[in-house]
């Protein structure tokens, strides 16, 4: 699955695919125009990876809807952080990332513009408590396994704040997300944070373990977006508008009870999991139509706005040294295509 945010003093990016990669310094500052082609007759190159809101694109690809819409698009499948590497190196025109990671790429030299929302995490990111832990308040004075600087860290802080607690009320144990099942099962921590499917594995491996707090309780904390290079957007805006049209059709197809089984079959095949299991992940991801996104792409404070959510992510990134300087969030968002302009 995709995994937002990042550890940054060493520019290390961790992905939701249980793998860690490094963003080398050179690609981060390579001009995007040196990579993917921007000629009017060249395909738009888009990176995507294993997160339901992005695997949804496979439905449109398999159905031939981009061709029907008159836009030539080439989707390139990556492990998540590798897609960020490719974008930063100018090898693709756009990438499907979290809003926080769009800022991370920009903060480290590869600016992008968020033109479309695909979804927000609606339960797939979880703080898991061991047996006997009733709620977040029970974590006071105890250890919590978290990959510091990643999105579960952000989720934990949000939950603690709502529980009228401080981050200092718990002791963070820096643990890689893919090691969460072993860390929780060891009994050394009272809780741990992970995204699906790792969170599910952790709960299976520690009898009685259960969710204490999930992204369903913080809608808008983690938005997923299509981030496009400014060069490509300026040169091919009409084509990017067609991509949004296809996305709208895709969301409708997935949300329709009559056609959802076919869509899930396609998505599950791409991710390599049984359809009956994939349905669970789909429920933890709230897909957003263009009309839904229009309401979110309004500049205001709070997690109900892409702007407010991104400012929250920016503050988190700076505090955790993902990058040094706060970003101008407004310059990263262009709502014009979502607004039909």
State yes or no: pLDDT of 135 exceeds 70: yes
Query: What is the Cα–Cα distance from 102 to 118, expressed in whole angstroms?
Result: 14
State yes or no: pLDDT of 19 exceeds 60: no
Query: Does an H or E element contain 173, and which?
Result: strand 171-174
From the CB of residue 174, how many other CB atoms can be counted at a distance below 10 Å? 11
- SS3 assignment for the chain: CCCCECECCCCEEEECCCEEEECCHHHHCCCHHHCCCCCCCCCEEEEECCCHHHHCHHHHHHHCHHHHCCCCEEEEECCHHHHHHHHHCCCCCEEEEEHHHHHHHHHCCCCCEEEEEEEEECCCEEEEECCCCCCHHHHCCCEEEECCCEHHHHHHHHHHHHCCCCHHHCEEEECCHHHHHHHHHHCCCCEEEEECCHHHHHHHHCCCCEEEEEHHHCCCCCEEEEEECHHHHHHCHHHHHHHHHHHHHHHHHHHCCCCHHHHHHHHHHHHCCCHHHHHHHHHCEEECCHHHHHHHCCCCCCCCCHHHHHHHHHHHHHHCCCCCCCCCHHHHECCCCCCCC
The percent of residues above 70 in pLDDT, for the chain, comes to: 89
Query: What is the Cα–Cα distance from 251 to 258, expressed in whole angstroms?
Result: 13
Give the end-to-end CA distance of the chain in Å, rounded to a whole number.
Answer: 32
State yes or no: pLDDT of 296 exceeds 70: yes
Q: How confident is the model at residue 341 (pLDDT cuts 50, 70, 90)?
A: confident
- Residue 231's pLDDT is 97
Q: How confident is the model at residue 12 (pLDDT cuts 50, 70, 90)?
A: very low
Per-residue pLDDT of 82-94, as tens digits, reads: 899 999 999 999 9
- Residue 30's pLDDT is 42
Query: What is the Cα–Cα distance from 222 to 235, expressed in whole angstroms?
Result: 29
Strand partners, 44: 73
Taking residues 315-326, what's their average pLDDT? 90
**Single pTM value for the model:** 0.83
- Residue 5's pLDDT is 40
- Residue 39's pLDDT is 66
State yes or no: pLDDT of 17 exceeds 50: no
Is 249 or 319 the better-scoring residue by pLDDT? 249
Answer yes or no: same fold for 12-121+222-332 and 125-217: yes
Strand partners, 226: 96, 116
Give the homologous superfamily in CATH for domain 125-217. Answer: Periplasmic binding protein-like II (3.40.190.10)
Return the structure tokens found at 61: 């690809």
Least confident piece of the model among 2-6, 215-219, 244-248: 2-6
Q: Mean pLDDT over all residues of the chain? A: 88
Domain ranges within the chain, ordered by starting residue = 12-121+222-332, 125-217
The percent of residues above 90 in pLDDT, for the chain, comes to: 73
What architecture does CATH give domain 12-121+222-332?
3-Layer(aba) Sandwich (3.40)
Least confident piece of the model among 18-22, 28-32, 63-67: 18-22
Query: What is the Cα–Cα distance from 212 to 314, expressed in whole angstroms?
Result: 25
Q: How confident is the model at residue 38 (pLDDT cuts 50, 70, 90)?
A: low
DSSP notation for 52-87: HHHHTHHHHHHHTHHHHTT--EEEEE--HHHHHHHH
Least confident piece of the model among 103-112, 141-150, 249-258: 141-150
Per-residue pLDDT of 219-260, as tens digits, reads: 999 999 999 999 999 999 999 999 999 999 999 999 999 999
What value does the CA radius of gyration of the chain take, rounded to a whole number of Å?
A: 19
Query: What is the Cα–Cα distance from 3 to 222, expressed in whole angstroms?
Result: 10
């Amino acid at each position: 699955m995709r995994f937002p945010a990042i550890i940054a003093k060493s520019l290390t990016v961790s992905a939701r695919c249980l793998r860690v990669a490094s963003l080398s310094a050179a690609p981060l500052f390579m001009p995007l125009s040196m990579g993917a082609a921007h000629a009017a007759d060249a395909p738009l190159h888009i990176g995507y990876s294993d997160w339901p809101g992005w695997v949804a694109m496979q439905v449109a690809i398999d159905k031939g809807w981009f061709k029907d819409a008159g836009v030539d698009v080439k989707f390139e499948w990556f492990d998540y952080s590798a897609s960020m590497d490719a974008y930063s190196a100018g090898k693709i025109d756009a990438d499907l990332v979290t809003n926080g990671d769009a800022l991370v790429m920009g903060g480290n030299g590869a600016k992008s513009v968020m033109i479309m929302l695909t979804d927000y995490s609606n339960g797939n990111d979880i703080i898991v408590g061991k047996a006997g832990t009733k709620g977040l308040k029970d974590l006071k004075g105890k250890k919590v396994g978290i990959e510091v600087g990643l999105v579960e860290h952000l989720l934990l802080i949000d939950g603690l704040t709502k529980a009228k607690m401080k981050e200092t009320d718990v002791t963070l144990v820096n643990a890689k997300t893919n090691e969460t099942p072993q860390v929780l099962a060891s009994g050394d921590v009272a809780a741990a944070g992970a995204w699906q499917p790792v969170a599910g594995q952790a709960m299976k491996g520690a009898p009685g373990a259960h969710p204490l707090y999930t992204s369903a309780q913080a809608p808008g904390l983690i938005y997923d977006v299509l981030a496009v290079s400014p060069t490509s957007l300026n040169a091919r805006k009409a084509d990017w508008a067609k991509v949004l049209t296809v996305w709208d059709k895709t969301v409708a197809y997935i949300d329709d009870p009559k056609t959802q089984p076919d869509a899930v079959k396609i998505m599950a095949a791409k991710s390599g999991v049984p359809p009956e299991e994939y349905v669970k992940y789909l429920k933890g991801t709230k897909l957003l139509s263009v009309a839904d996104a229009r309401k979110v792409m309004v500049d205001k404070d709070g997690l109900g706005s892409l702007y407010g959510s991104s400012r929250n992510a920016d503050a988190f990134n700076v505090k955790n040294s993902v990058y040094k300087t706060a970003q101008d969030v407004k310059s990263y968002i262009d709502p014009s295509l979502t607004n039909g302009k």
